[in-house]
Structure 1
């Protein structure tokens, strides 16, 4: 389990400053450094709303603290910019809860409404759940104050290119919308019938007819936008915390025993819902957001909004993916290098070396695939595999060199007296060749009993024997105890032994090449398996999101239909058709054809020659894994 970063108090994430008299938002590097240490997936809950409406109290409750975010007790806004508090998730141990408290909207001291839309847009872009905090009731005045929802598409774009259907796509990427109505004193009742908080919200979002009326169009606009952009909506109403004005102005100092029990119960119900239903923050294409990624997104979106006046989700993902993929290659390659450095060289056999390398490479690959995303042309996968291949060759050469060193030390150890005898001409006497062969045999037997010689044992031995070929010929020639015929036979036998050893060495080299190739094949099949598992999970998530979007839009079709607003119902019906078409395309078995071609290209670059003999295996492997996951998950 990843270590949890604990913050004792909030810190400003995005500072609200001025530059040459104009508003400017700046990301606080200290907050980014904190996020950089959070490797867990993050659940991001933001709260927005008019200033002095008690937003910070709810955020402190979510943090499990009585104080933290500044509550304030005057008409001045206390929170400036966006403040962040990272705490362990109360019920999901493998996640971190990131709470973002935004500066109050509509602050008269700012004198510039541009800040409001900037902060609201950033809260939407960074959140898993967006809490809108208001006072009183959900009426026209409350919705008029939420006019920012209607303006948000001016600052947030889904795709970099113009997209006619973009409005229908926002709900797929926007957070859960939770409306918290504070100081609610009315009965939850419509036409004499008790209703739930959610029904109260949906009733407030009904449209006025006829829509052609300018007044009704203005009335309907924020409602249409809220329903269009936030497919998943929830409502909570809260009683007054206390009727005592002094206590109300200093809630962080008031004990729970002095607070309205209904308000405490409502607050707990709100917190429980947020903890249970706020999902891990993701961006397009199912990428899970961790602390470092959230920090990058904060920088990318803040810079985009304040410099170009709009933020594009697609561009942000591309920018983030470029950095993340580079880091994925670096981190995974470093893991492989570090683990391989721990391997004791030389390994006894090539199989041993290849098995160790394969296991470490598989673990490194998991690291790469976990961090990598949107690597559509598999450029970074190829870069990772190329890096592993190069390092493997370096370690393989080191393994061979260590083996050579070990074998030479052993040869020298057992041949010291033998070499001395050669130098002194001990064998240049009648019967000397027999003695030469006896001593040489003793060296070979002792050498062969030694372990840890490694992959170059035969090669070093052959080099040693080959270096003695000329001296042996001289010893045979000078051995007068041998007849001419016996000398010829000994020379022939010696040459034959050398030829057989060369042949054996050649066969060994061919065998090792084959081993390497087979291991590369097995390794690439494992790459395909891991890649398909990752893509299967992503596709499963995307299918789930498509189903949710279809369900949410079907609800809108029904609601608009009940109100007799067929034009709106038809618009949502067209969006549903587009989503169904996307789902059909995503689940078409031919989806993996481009993957096959890409993997073939990557394989041919990283393992030259492999595709010429193994191209069909790539396609078959992808097809096999697709069929398996189709059965299991779809």
Structure 2
């Protein structure tokens, strides 16, 4: 994008509307998105920092008057300066506290959308972190009314926020104090932590309100960072045209601080994730923007779980469609007929592998394996269709070749050339010559034996008549020749039946192999998701244990006990996730699909997985052995 575009428009009637053009832009890239949003009071220089993050002097409108410039949420997508194959999505939000709007609900939802869409949220303020600055963050204390993590009633909703909320960066502009606490120099981060620390003793309701806001900030935003910025310049005219001012004309400390801020965001801001394991791409970000904006516009609370479910359904449908289309497009490249069935299966397996990767990459949260089943059946159906096309093309080629090679032979039959003394010998000689020429021709495909048998069998009645009319043969010889002709047909039928069984087994083995590969890939993916989620939960537990100990040390048992309950719930979730319930639906789906596929009908009572499957054997051992399996 050469310039920012409005992502979510704040209309005159107070409704939020997603811009279709912006959604179209987001839909064009499938790279992971690092989403950085900035919020804060209007006229505090938010847009300047966002332009710096974009690596540009101009972009987001800075404005130079007392009126708020940015309306709604504006978006700028740029290549990430450090992370290869990632997109940096910058969201510049409408300034809070716009006197022209005078609507706290408007500010509340702007703040909420920024939290829901970003992986890192920058809160921009001026002066110092005092009570007034913290009061501007009052929306944090209202998140339980605005945002739900789960659709069902959840007694511990607040504990869930820290797992799903973005990293929090406080940028303090025009900072004019010394970073000291009780005469000791401290870092900006220590300054922030001190400012949001609880009063050790709650004597009044005012003390409780004081503590609750700070507690919410610490609980919801577990990963916190602070930057302070000097005045960029003391010249008022320069301030009004910062987008046109070179860095060497600004306060050197301010320039250095801006660089440190940008370096931190570029290096530390994470990719936007859902449920710890689902990477948000441009397309997914656009869908989330639509889902959350719709909730805001209808004055509902925004439910994260519902958003993920809605997004998963759309993404899984697209995963099935894209994978199936890729497989079909690939199969269309195969030159039909293939020389052998092996050639066909080898090429189809290659395109199935590519389709499998596409499906696995895009599909997520397919809890009932509904879309996995649809994917497997779609691929199987398309493969069968192309297999039938391959066979039919082979028949066409073989029949055309037989027709060409047997033209003189058919003419001789029509003219009764073989209905003479010694005619049968000539008949067999000419028929053998056709068979020989037919066999040496290339490019006939997988139905070569079937079409040859079809041709020879079609000549059987003519041959019997020729034998009976051949006076060079005595009665015994005629009987022997007729018997030999029939035996040849029987032998060819048996050989054809044997070849068909071999081909059927080839298809079965190939189907088994591809189903097994899909199973293995899915298990790898889900095991990796579980590993990442457990790591995330371990981080959350450690963070909450630190907070618990802090409150114990401060003599605040009410707060310490609250964290203890949260830790207990998270550990219970980890325990449940480690049991067999997470993989049993997957195994059931694969068995069901394998049993239904037409090429595996004779395996209805067997496992769809090869004996000794390491994945299943290991899972069985992990969960109680063969009985559990």
What TM-score results when the alignment is normalised by the length of structure 2? 0.96
Unaligned 5+ runs, structure 2: 624-629
Tell me the CA shift for residue 145 of structure 1. 1.0
Q: 1:18 aligns with which of 2, 12, 16?
A: 12
Indicate yes or no: 2:386 matched with 1:410. no
Q: 2:71 aligns with which of 63, 75, 80?
A: 80
> For 1:70 and 1:558, how far apart are their aligned partners in 2?
46
Indicate yes or no: 2:244 matched with 1:253. yes
CA contact (8 A) 1:37 1:292 kept: yes
> For 1:603 and 1:551, how far apart are their aligned partners in 2?
44
Alignment of 1:75-474 (within 5 A): 75-284=66-275, 286-474=277-465
> For 1:606 and 1:151, how far apart are their aligned partners in 2?
53
Relative to structure 1, is the Cα distance of residues 214 and 255 closer, same or farther in structure 2, using a 3 angstrom cutoff? same
Relative to structure 1, is the Cα distance of residues 605 and 138 closer, same or farther in structure 2, using a 3 angstrom cutoff? farther
> For 2:2 and 2:478, how far apart are their aligned partners in 1?
92
> For 1:289 and 1:174, how far apart are their aligned partners in 2?
14
> For 2:442 and 2:56, how far apart are their aligned partners in 1?
64
> For 2:219 and 2:28, how far apart are their aligned partners in 1?
36
> For 1:137 and 1:247, how far apart are their aligned partners in 2?
23
Residue equivalent to 1:522: 513
> For 2:350 and 2:253, how far apart are their aligned partners in 1?
58
Tell me the CA shift for residue 228 of structure 1. 1.0
Relative to structure 1, is the Cα distance of residues 461 and 351 closer, same or farther in structure 2, using a 3 angstrom cutoff? same
- Between 1:213-222 and 1:165-174, the stretch displaced more is 213-222
> For 1:522 and 1:212, how far apart are their aligned partners in 2?
70
- Measured against aligned partners, the alpha-carbon deviations of 1:54-101 in whole angstroms (never above 9, x if no partner) come to 111110110001111111122211111100000110001210000000
> For 1:619 and 1:478, how far apart are their aligned partners in 2?
64
Tell me the CA shift for residue 589 of structure 1. 5.8
- Measured against aligned partners, the alpha-carbon deviations of 1:454-501 in whole angstroms (never above 9, x if no partner) come to 111111111101110011011111111111111111111111111100
> For 2:135 and 2:276, how far apart are their aligned partners in 1?
34
CA contact (8 A) 1:378 1:602 kept: no
Unaligned 5+ runs, structure 1: 1-6
Alignment of 1:539-578 (within 5 A): 539-578=530-569
Secondary structure in structure 1 of the residue aligned to 2:232? coil
CA contact (8 A) 1:87 1:97 kept: yes
Q: Over aligned residue pairs, what C-alpha RMSD do you find?
A: 1.8
- Between 1:44-53 and 1:573-582, the stretch displaced more is 573-582
CA contact (8 A) 2:201 2:556 kept: no
Tell me the CA shift for residue 554 of structure 1. 2.0
- Between 1:308-317 and 1:205-214, the stretch displaced more is 205-214
CA contact (8 A) 1:528 1:621 kept: no
> For 2:613 and 2:466, how far apart are their aligned partners in 1?
62
CA contact (8 A) 2:516 2:609 kept: no
> For 1:603 and 1:619, how far apart are their aligned partners in 2?
17
CA contact (8 A) 1:385 1:606 kept: no
Residue equivalent to 1:613: 606
Tell me the CA shift for residue 551 of structure 1. 2.1
> For 1:469 and 1:175, how far apart are their aligned partners in 2?
81
Relative to structure 1, is the Cα distance of residues 605 and 425 closer, same or farther in structure 2, using a 3 angstrom cutoff? closer
> For 1:76 and 1:265, how far apart are their aligned partners in 2?
29
Indicate yes or no: 2:591 matched with 1:594. no
What TM-score results when the alignment is normalised by the length of structure 1? 0.95
- Measured against aligned partners, the alpha-carbon deviations of 1:376-417 in whole angstroms (never above 9, x if no partner) come to 111111111111111111111111110001101111121111
Secondary structure in structure 1 of the residue aligned to 2:444? coil
Secondary structure in structure 1 of the residue aligned to 2:265? helix
- Measured against aligned partners, the alpha-carbon deviations of 1:155-196 in whole angstroms (never above 9, x if no partner) come to 110001110011000000000000111111111111121111
Alignment of 1:41-52 (within 5 A): 41-52=32-43
Residue equivalent to 1:3: none
Alignment of 1:491-506 (within 5 A): 491-506=482-497
> For 1:362 and 1:393, how far apart are their aligned partners in 2?
16
Tell me the CA shift for residue 592 of structure 1. 2.4
Q: 1:579 aligns with which of 563, 566, 570?
A: 570
CA contact (8 A) 2:276 2:536 kept: no
Tell me the CA shift for residue 284 of structure 1. 2.0
Secondary structure in structure 2 of the residue aligned to 1:228? helix
